[in-house]
A = this chain, B = another copy of it.
Amino acid sequence: MSGSLIKFKKPPCISSWGTVAGRREEEGPLGGRFDISDNTDRFGKDSWEKSESEMQRMALERAILKAGMTNSDVDAVFAGDLINQCTSSSYGLMSFGIPHFGIYGACSTIAEGLMLSSAMVSGGIYRTAAAVCSSHYCSAERQFRSPLEYGSQRAPSAQWTVTGSAAFIVSESGVSFEETDNGEYLIGASGTGCYITEALPGRIFDSGLTDMTDMGAAMAPAAADTFLRYFAESGREPGDFDVIATGDLGLEGSRLLLSLTGDRGLELGPRYTDCGLKIYNLSSSDVHSGGSGCACSGLVLGAELLPRLMSGRIKDILLVATGALMSPTSVEQGGTIPGIAHLIHISSEKG
């Protein structure tokens, strides 16, 4: 059947990762857990687009360093972002000299990159691959909505694009490292593995919605489609997971997802969360419905979920990263907002 579940025969390992975040992210619940942050959101650059590229460079550099590798150990990189022609990735990563696969999955990009990296490593094509994504509030606002200087009002259902980048190294076997209490890391220390055991790429799902200020609702049907297919094909149940997380559905989209899956008899239960609800303090920030952007699921995965898995506190994570596949032009032309949702199962055991 088209779109069947991928069960990796040799589950590859996420052996290291790097996270870079902006001011608002550093002030949120995950503050202090990012590898690098800059409270100006500029990262030393004179345009928001260049700042976003620089975050990708820093994130991959840090991930390679933490893995105890050099650039030439990485066989290929899968990278993407939200900016026109994916320039954040191209400019950000060109200095590494690593073969480059540009990918586009909107906010689901990091899951697409991890799936493809895992497939290449598990299939014996590569020993090591990297997945990188980024988003920046200021470059996204300028491109998708209006420049910040206009001071536009935001709708209550609107989400806040996360400023950050995350890079993950995927290898045949784990290069163990461990974070110490003061944020340093020990290469070679023992650690639990982070194995990608299953993947289910999403199908494009068009629910006919056209409201660019409510993208969570536009993406929720795609997430529901992926969850329903996964549980039907895998034979697993939501209770088999410690965390079931969507990428950036936000408040509106998460509620809709639970309604859509519940109607079909699938109860995701108390383990369900959304990365867009974890990255900011919704009550005290002006983020309305929650976080969004490629970096939303990337940063929550790298700064919270994987460290918890490495520490042994949780064992199985189901991440369904979500993306809205429209452009400002397509919406102006009356187009709908199709969604996509890519799933990966990360486990502390090879399964």
Residues of A within 8 A of B (CB): 1-4, 6, 9, 47, 49-50, 71-76, 80, 82-87, 90-91, 93-94, 97-106, 112, 116, 119-120, 122-125, 143, 200-206, 325-330, 333, 335, 338, 340
A335 to B123, CA, bound (A): 37
Q: How many copies does the complex hold?
A: 2
Residue numbers in B under 8 Å from A74 (CB-CB): 2
Which 6 A-B residue pairs are closest in the complex by CB-CB distance?
A123-B123, A102-B104, A94-B204, A85-B327, A90-B325, A99-B201
Cβ of A122 to closest chain B Cβ, rounded Å = 7
By the criterion CB–CB under 8 Å, are A2 and B104 in contact? no
A73 to B87, CA, bound (A): 34
A335 to B91, CA, bound (A): 9
Residue of B nearest to A336 (CB): B91
A238 to B82, CA, bound (A): 39
By the criterion CB–CB under 8 Å, are A104 and B103 in contact? yes
Residue numbers in B under 8 Å from A93 (CB-CB): 204
A206 to B50, CA, bound (A): 16
By the criterion CB–CB under 8 Å, are B3 and A330 in contact? no
Can you report 26 residue pairs joining A to B where beta carbons are below 8 Å apart?
Answer: A2-B73, A2-B75, A2-B98, A3-B75, A3-B97, A6-B125, A80-B104, A85-B106, A85-B325, A85-B327, A86-B325, A87-B326, A87-B329, A87-B330, A98-B203, A99-B203, A100-B201, A100-B203, A100-B340, A101-B116, A101-B201, A102-B106, A122-B123, A123-B123, A123-B124, A123-B125
By the criterion CB–CB under 8 Å, are B101 and A103 in contact? yes
Cβ of A248 to closest chain B Cβ, rounded Å = 16
Residue numbers in B under 8 Å from A49 (CB-CB): 329-330, 333
Residue of B nearest to A92 (CB): B204
Cβ of A128 to closest chain B Cβ, rounded Å = 9
By the criterion CB–CB under 8 Å, are B87 and A325 in contact? yes
Residue numbers in B under 8 Å from A101 (CB-CB): 103, 105, 112, 116, 201
Residue of B nearest to A73 (CB): B2
Residue numbers in B under 8 Å from A335 (CB-CB): 87, 91
